[in-house]
C-alpha cells in the first residue's frame, strides 16, 4: 500500500530550497588536472594582442585555470580577514573581493580581482573582455560591494569611456597584478607603459565610485607594508636553521 504524505509533511518545491555552498576538496586527481592546465597555459603559443584577452588555446586554458584558482584558492583566502590583508605584494599581485548581483539570477556573485586606487576611486580591468561574468553583472546592476584589504565599501560601478583615463587605469591595474600577464608572454613589472597600453588596448576598464573618496591603506598597492611579513618569515627561517645547527 502506498502512503501519501500530508500537505504539512511535503517538502517545499526545489526552487524554494537553496543548497549549501560546498567548495570541492583538492584531491590528487584534481591537483594533477590543475597542474596540467597551468602547464598547458605556459606552453601554449604566445597570443596576439586582443581586446578580449588571450585568444585561442591559451584563452581557454587560462580561463579554466583562473576560474578554478579564483573559486578554490583566492576567494577562501580573501574571505579570511587576516590572510586576505597580507597576501598582496608586487609579485603576487594585490586583490580585492568584488560582489556583484547576478544579471539573471539576482544572487550575489563574488570575484577576486586586481585593482588600483586612483584619485579616490577604485579601478578594475577585465582581462577577458566584455564577456567576463562579473563585468556583465555590474553593467546590468551598477551597485556593487568591494572588500579591500582591511575594509569594505559600497559603490557605483561604470565602464570608463574616456580613452586617456582608461589607459592610465589599465596600466596601473596591470602593474598591481603580479604574474597574471605572464600568461600572455609579458612581465608587467618590467614592461614599458607603452607596451602595456598596446597589449591592453580595447579591454574594458571599470571605475567604482564610493560615497567618499577611497584612500590607499597600508595593505594596498604602493605601500611598503607587504615587506613586514616576508621579512619576519625570512628571519624565522634563519632562526630555525640556526637552532638546528646547534643541535
More confident residue, 125 or 54: 125
32 pLDDT exceeds 60? no
More confident residue, 61 or 162: 162
For residue 182, the 8-state DSSP code is: G
* Distance, C-alpha 214 to centroid of its chain: 19
- 179: closest CA among 170, 171, 188? 188
138 pLDDT exceeds 70? yes
Reported as a pLDDT band with limits 50, 70 and 90, residue 187 is confident
Looking from the CA of 197 toward its CB, the CA atoms found within 13 Å total 10
Percent of the chain whose predicted confidence (pLDDT) is above 90: 41
The number of beta carbons lying within 10 Å of the beta carbon of residue 17 is 8
Reported as a pLDDT band with limits 50, 70 and 90, residue 237 is confident
Burial zone of 231 (CB within 10 Å; 0-12 exposed, 13-18 middle, 19+ buried): exposed
pLDDT at 133: 93
40 pLDDT exceeds 80? no
Domains of the chain: 28-216 (2.30.110.10)
Reported as a pLDDT band with limits 50, 70 and 90, residue 239 is confident
Average pLDDT, the chain: 78
User: Distance between CA 73 and CA 77 in Å, rounded?
Assistant: 6
List, for residues 54-102, the tens digit of each pLDDT value.
555 665 676 677 778 778 888 888 888 777 777 888 888 899 999 999 9
Amino acid at each position: 500500500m502506498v502512503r501519501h504524505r500530508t500537505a504539512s509533511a511535503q517538502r517545499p518545491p526545489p526552487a524554494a530550497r537553496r543548497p549549501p555552498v560546498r567548495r570541492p576538496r583538492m584531491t590528487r586527481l584534481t591537483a594533477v588536472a590543475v597542474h596540467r592546465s597551468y602547464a598547458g597555459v605556459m606552453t601554449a603559443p604566445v597570443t596576439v594582442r586582443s581586446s578580449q584577452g588571450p585568444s585561442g588555446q591559451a584563452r581557454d586554458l587560462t580561463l579554466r585555470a583562473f576560474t578554478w584558482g579564483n573559486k578554490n584558492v583566492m576567494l577562501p583566502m580573501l574571505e579570511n580577514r587576516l590572510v586576505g590583508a597580507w597576501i598582496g605584494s608586487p609579485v603576487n599581485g594585490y586583490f580585492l573581493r568584488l560582489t556583484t548581483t547576478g544579471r539573471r539570477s539576482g544572487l550575489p556573485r563574488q570575484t577576486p580581482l586586481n585593482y588600483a586606487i586612483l584619485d579616490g576611486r577604485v579601478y578594475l580591468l577585465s582581462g577577458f573582455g566584455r564577456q567576463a561574468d562579473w563585468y556583465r553583472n555590474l553593467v546590468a546592476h551598477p551597485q556593487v560591494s568591494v572588500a579591500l584589504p582591511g575594509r569594505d565599501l559600497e559603490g557605483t560601478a561604470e565602464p570608463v569611456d574616456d580613452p586617456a583615463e582608461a589607459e592610465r587605469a589599465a596600466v596601473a591595474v596591470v602593474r598591481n597584478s603580479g604574474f597574471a600577464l605572464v600568461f600572455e608572454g609579458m612581465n608587467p613589472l618590467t614592461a614599458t607603459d607603452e607596451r602595456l597600453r598596446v597589449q591592453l588596448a580595447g579591454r574594458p576598464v571599470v571605475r567604482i565610485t564610493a560615497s567618499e573618496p577611497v584612500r590607499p591603506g597600508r595593505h594596498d598597492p604602493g605601500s611598503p607594508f607587504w615587506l613586514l611579513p616576508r621579512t619576519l618569515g625570512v628571519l624565522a627561517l634563519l632562526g630555525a636553521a640556526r637552532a638546528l645547527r646547534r643541535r
